Amino acid sequence: MSLAEYADRNRLHRVGARPSLPRYLADAWGRRDFAIAMAKYKIEASNQRNRLGMLWIFIKPTLNALLYGAIFGILQGASRPENFPMYVVIGVFLFEFFSTSMNNGAKSITGNGALVQSLAFPRITLPVSTVIQQLMTLVPMLGVMVVYILLLGAPITVEWLLMIPLVAVFTMFNLGVALIGARLTVHVRDLTQLLPLFTRILFYTSGVLFSIETILASHPWAIALFDYHPLHEVLSIARGALMPGLDYDPMYWLYFSVWSVAVFVAGVLFFWSAEERYGRVD
């Protein structure tokens, strides 16, 4: 009798074997308190290292909005969108949520090698905790963003409530991206060196600082392609909800919801299928 047959007869399971997907997700749900506690700890730890602490959560995107707004405001000249300061603030603050979720989520396994090797738990907890951390950071950022928008002259409307479901769907999308990135960087560590470049490409091609319809007015086929760009969709919805007189295609809700569900499901399956490999992180 082979060892495999003996183990099967006696219902012995290989240590570290990947469980079924339903059991895996149930185990991960059971660790939700750990994921939340880890997210809170990382926020506190990162702030303790800085003299200004939590203020950097507001200062960093504010400085980015001022810097990029000044530079691209001058470069665009008369082609700037209406209410350009408001336009830039919304774009920069929301893109910050995506970029930190993607970059930190991609490093969530490789950056916690000792934890992964020493404890048995669903590894999906780590990228989930990272996105929870970024969501916790986003909430006060949104408060500051709203203050800026009010100071810039935007009236409060009932459409502002659309930000609640939008942030929920956006979080699902970011989690899927983080899961895909977390597995890829385990297989190819060098990808972490390319993440900043990839982030910059997305930053400059998703309409964070300029109006796609204005810049590409002479290329209608390119504008049509941007209708299916997930980051352009989420920024357009947010601006349409918060900024006065700015319209967007309502179909963006459908498109971005499909993107979010597809990326999330693909991320979960892609990450789970390599669960056995994460314990061998160097």
Q: Taking the alpha carbons of 80, 81, 83, 85 in that order, is the dihedral positive or negative?
A: negative
Q: Supply the pTM of this predicted model.
A: 0.88
Residue 259 included in any domain: yes
CA geometry: angle at 177 spanning 63 and 56, to 5°? 20
For a pLDDT cut of 70, what percent of the chain falls above it?
Answer: 90
The pLDDT tens digits for 48-59 are 766 666 677 777
Residue 238 included in any domain: yes
Residue 2 included in any domain: no
Residue 15 included in any domain: no
User: What domain range is 120 assigned to?
Assistant: 20-280
125 falls in which pLDDT band (50, 70, 90)?
very high
The pLDDT tens digits for 161-171 are 999 999 999 99
Per-residue confidence (pLDDT) for residue 12, from 0 to 100: 41
Residue 126 included in any domain: yes
Q: What is the mean pLDDT of residues 78-98?
A: 88
Residue 11 included in any domain: no
Residue 1 included in any domain: no
CA geometry: angle at 80 spanning 215 and 62, to 5°? 115
Q: How far apart are CA 215 and CA 228, in angstroms?
A: 17
Per-residue confidence (pLDDT) for residue 65, from 0 to 100: 82
Domains in the chain, number: 1
DSSP 3-state of 208: coil
Residue 32 included in any domain: yes
* 48-62, 190-204, 265-279: range with lowest mean pLDDT: 48-62
